[in-house]
Structure 1
């Protein structure tokens, strides 16, 4: 199977999984409406999806570093979908939390191994990893549309219909896994690339990614409610805000992958975080329909670094690609959910606008952490991998620092 086709299937599978990360935030307004939950209680549902996922991500990453486990992709996809599908049927807050937590574990199991497989299928290309990440962005973007189409029609009792993407995703990844298994020599998929680990830079990158995650999860949890409040709209205004946030993330991922072919990834990430500060401030303070413009700009600024941080982390820890992937692609995203109840409690005590103001500081902290970080060298086995036939991709020239252009 040509490399591009394998990447397309993996990206589509990634979309089917990440639709459930987006579905949690998309369900919050319906849980508030039907369950009468407070802001803090509703954000606790997001926390349930994040907490176990945060704990499980490093475990699954370490396991995939020791042994390739491609079977995790279809199994974890099904777990992610079943948890969300059952969450609306429980009639109990405790059971809702439990089902959402099951979905979070499925998401946690998926990301480290899927990033390892995508790295192999894409032969270490930044553009290939960007395409894989874009699949997740598309899943995020489709989540509010899917949830609204299903739940607004018949209420939370129709939530079992939300399992459909999981069924599709578990099937889509199978041909790509079989093709990769035939093309990869025994043991090569789990072999550690040559290179020296830069643990200090990896820790800085991880902390910066956590700050980014707090901003994104905070926005994704409350932007639908905030859009209703600031624009005076109803369900359509809330759904539009989430769609713009997630769709902007897809645009940011594409832009980040393209820019990485011309400049240093570290320099690109620094500029993205700095501009995100102004965009988030606009989303919080600018009233009326202009809110949507700043939400889009904030999403682009937050997602330009996303795929680049995954490849940076893998290059900073070339001997632990699974762990690096699990932390940057999954754990740091999930950790952002831990701040959700704090934001919700602050919103209950003051106002939603006041609670969102601290999110402006997070990308500024990310920018500070990236100052002085080096651009890592690409591990030799990936840099030297030959490409033939339909798999050949014109790779861009070596990156240049943005300050020299």
Structure 2
């Protein structure tokens, strides 16, 4: 494992996904300053997430034909400029377009970045889990960074949020090639998987990723509300429950990589879902919020254990389509799970929040069942010295 390369790509992932985390922090200011309706705000979220997730596989296919590592810094910069411009335009149409442009930048970043991270990590699931962790941390930092800036300067303060991307882009332009490939003229070893593409296994994996995504979006959207309305907790405790869920997820991401290196990726995925099921059962049965917080932590760890493993496993299933595999496992299959949130909300409205969460437990059971049909990818041949493209 190229530790410097993994650290660089994880840092780049953190900065890029920071701009995904900035948008939720901007939404209340769009409502208060520009008097946008909730429907209009939902439209901005749709522009950012859905367009990005749909386009990511296309960028993945494009990078399969020829490595285009320049998409890593350029995608990040476009993501940052889109967010900055969204705060400067008064027109809703222009704001929507700028948010969509930011989503396109994020879509351009991920397939190439995941491929570069794989080159640095080699066959180490732990290395890829560090890359995935960077995105988790970046998303959380987006809100923490944006909120004080927006409170101080209003929406026009979004121009200041470009600075982290500018710094990281300069670092990537100067250092990414030498760090990932080594000194010029030195032998370069291919750490990428080799062999035939296994589309049936990849499609089965995609179905597991989709089911897991619905669980994640459902919990992250309704967990705080459940603590407030069903367990009698305050809004502060409800927010803390969501924070604990995401922070525990960061630990689960690293744990998943370690388990996959020690016992194999399929064991890591199955263990994650197997622990998630009783954790969620305990959560909906918890009589009060103190006990529920502990179970939220266990649920967060377990639902994130398979997260980074999905990426490297998908790349191993499609060794000749690394960009496509990255675009689907990092982008499309993850975000499409958010489409089911309105369905979960409708179930909660028609029954209760508690009933909806009880029904949600069926999904990790389904994911565990589907994962039993996955087969380990064929082993890659030893690395060989080859020239690498930029």
TM norm. shorter chain > 0.5? yes
Q: 1:276 to 1:73 in 2, by over 3 A?
A: same
Distance in 1, matches of 2:219 and 2:24, equals 10
Give the corresponding residue for 1:299: 300
Structure 2 partner of 1:360:
361
Q: 2:369 & 2:9 partners in 1: Cα distance? A: 34
Q: Deviations over 1:366-387 (max 9, x none)?
A: 11211132122332144x789x
Q: Are the counterparts in 2 of residues 11 and 136 from structure 1 also a CA contact under 8 Å? A: yes
Q: How does 1:97-246 map to 2 (within 5 A)?
A: 97-152=96-151, 155-174=154-173, 175-181=175-181, 193-224=193-224, 229=229, 232-234=233-235, 236-237=236-237, 239-246=239-246
Q: Distance in 1 between matches of 2:112 and 2:45?
A: 23
Going from structure 1 to structure 2, the CA distance change for 1:68 and 1:159 (only over 3 Å counts) comes to: same
* TM-score normalised over the length of structure 1: 0.81
Paired residue for 1:311?
Answer: 312
Q: How many residues in Structure 1 have an aligned counterpart in Structure 2?
A: 381
Equivalence for 1:373: 374
Check if 1:259 corresponds to 2:259. yes
**Residues 29, 227 of structure 1: alpha-carbon distance in 2 compared, 3 angstrom cutoff:** farther
Q: Does 1:84 align with 2:83?
A: yes
Cα deviation 1:322-361 (Å, max 9, x = unaligned): 1111111222122123234444555667665565555433
Distance (Å, rounded) in 1 between the aligned partners of 2:332 and 2:4: 28
1:36-58: CA deviation from partner (whole Å, max 9, x where unpaired): 744x6655443322211122111
Query: Any stretches of 5+ residues in structure 2 without a counterpart?
Result: none
Q: Which runs of 5+ in 1 are unaligned?
A: 387-405
> Could you say what the CA RMSD is over the residues aligned between the two structures, in angstroms?
3.4
* Residue 28 (structure 1) shift: 5.0
Q: For residues 189 and 82 of structure 1, what CA distance do their matches in structure 2 show?
A: 36
Query: Is the 8 Å Cα contact of residues 216 and 302 (structure 1) preserved in structure 2?
Result: yes
How many angstroms apart in 2 are the aligned matches of 1:205 and 1:336?
A: 14
Distance 1:47 1:350, change over 3 A: farther
CA distance in 2, matches of 1:299, 1:376: 28
Q: Answer yes or no: is the 8 Å Cα contact 2:265–2:309 preserved in 1.
A: yes
Provide the C-alpha distance between the structure 2 equivalents of 1:87 and 1:289, rounded to a whole number of angstroms. Answer: 40
Deviations 1:18-40 (A, max 9, x none): 222333445556656665744x6
Alpha-carbon displacement from aligned partner over 1:69-88 (angstroms, at most 9, x marks no partner): 11101111112223333444
Q: In 2, are the aligned partners of 1:28 and 1:221 still within 8 Å (CA)?
A: no
TM-score relative to the length of structure 2: 0.83
The residue matched to 1:218 in structure 2 has which SS?
A: helix
CA distance in 2, matches of 1:227, 1:337: 21
Contact preservation (8 Å) 1:272, 1:302: yes
Instruction: Give the secondary-structure state (helix, strand or coil) at the position aligned to 1:262.
Output: helix
